[in-house]
Structure 1
Amino acid sequence: MYCRKCGEKNPENAVYCKNCGVRLKEEVKKPEVIETPVPNNQNNQQSTNQRTTATTGTSNSSDSDWISCCLCLIAIFIIFAIVGSF
C-alpha cells in the first residue's frame, strides 16, 4: 500500500505511513439510524391541525417582513434623492 501523501510504500496491514505518519486507511463510519414512533390517527389529525395554524401564522409574519423591507428600500431611495439634489 502506498501513502497518498508522500508516496512511501507501506505494508498492506499498516495503519499509519512509516515515512510521514499520515493515517493510511480512513475509518468508515456507519450512519446512525434514529427510529421515531409513528403516531396514531388521533395524534396525527391533531398535529396536522397544529401545522395548519402555525403555517397561517408564519404567512402573516412573512408578509409583514416583506412590507418592512419595501418601506426600508423606499426610504433609502428618498434619502439618496434628497442628498443627490444638493
Structure 2
Amino acid sequence: MSLKSYSQNILIECGTDEAGRGCLAGPVTAAAVILPQSFKNKILTDSKLLTHKSRELLRPVIEQEALAFGIAHVFPEEIDEINILNAS
C-alpha cells in the first residue's frame, strides 16, 4: 500500500510569529500554532496590534483550543552559532 492511500485531502495551515532582537540585544522567541478550521475569536488579530491584556486573555484560549502549538527561545550564544535567520 502506498503512502498516498493514507493521505487525506485536508489543507492544514500553521501560523507563526517571532519576537526579539537576536544576538546583539537578547533572545528570539518564536511560536507556531495550528487552530481548528472552525476557530473564531473576536479579539484575535495581528499579534503586533494586540494589547498585552488581549494577549494574556487569548493565551489560555489558544492553548486549550489549538490542535498543536509550540514555543521556542533561542539565546544569543546559539544565535551567534546558527545566525539570526536560522534562529527565527
Q: TM-score range by the shorter chain?
A: under 0.3
What TM-score do you get using the length of structure 2 for normalisation?
Answer: 0.18
What TM-score do you get using the length of structure 1 for normalisation?
Answer: 0.18
Higher RCO, Cα 8 Å, sep 6+? 2
Which protein has the bigger helix share?
A: 1
Which protein has the bigger strand share?
A: 2
Structure number with bigger Rg: 1
